[in-house]
Structure 1
Amino acid sequence: MGESTPRIAIDAMGGDGGPAVMVAGAALARKRFPDLAFRLFGDETALRAELARHKGFDAEIVHAPDKISGEDKPSQAIRRAKTTSMGLAIADVKAKQCGAALSAGNTGALMAMSKLSLRTMPGIDRPALAALLPTLGDNDVVMLDLGANTECDTQNLVQFAIMGAAYARTVMNLSTPRVSLLNIGTEELKGTDELRDAAALLREAHFLPIRFTGFIEADRLGRGETDVIVSDGFSGNIALKSVEGTARFVTDLLRRAFASSLRSKAGFLLSRPAFRLLSVHLDPNNHNGAVFLGLNGIVVKSHGGADAQGVANAIGVAASMLENDISRRIADDLANFRTHESSVVAAQ
Structure 2
Amino acid sequence: MSDPLAFSYAAQPMDVTFGAGSISGLRAEVEALGLTRVIVLSTPGQAGLAGEIAAQLGPLVGAIFTKATMHVPIEIVDEAASVVAKVGADGCVAVGGGSTIGLGKALSLRHRIPTVAVPTTYAGSEMTPVWGITENGVKTTGRDRVVLPVKVIYDPELSLALPLGISATSGMNAIAHAVEALWAPDRSPLISLMAEEGVRAIATALPQLKHGADLAGRSNLLYGAWLCGSCLGATTMSLHHKLCHILGGTFNLPHADTHTIVLPYVLEYNAPAAPQAVAALQRALGTDDPVAGLITLRQDWDVPSSLKQLGLTQNDLETAVDAAIASPYANPREVTAEGLRTLLARAWSGALG
Compute the TM-score of the two structures, normalised by the length of structure 1.
Answer: 0.30
Compute the TM-score of the two structures, normalised by the length of structure 2.
Answer: 0.30
Structure with the higher helix share, 1 or 2: 2
> Whose relative contact order is higher, 1 or 2, with alpha carbons under 8 Å and at least 6 apart?
1
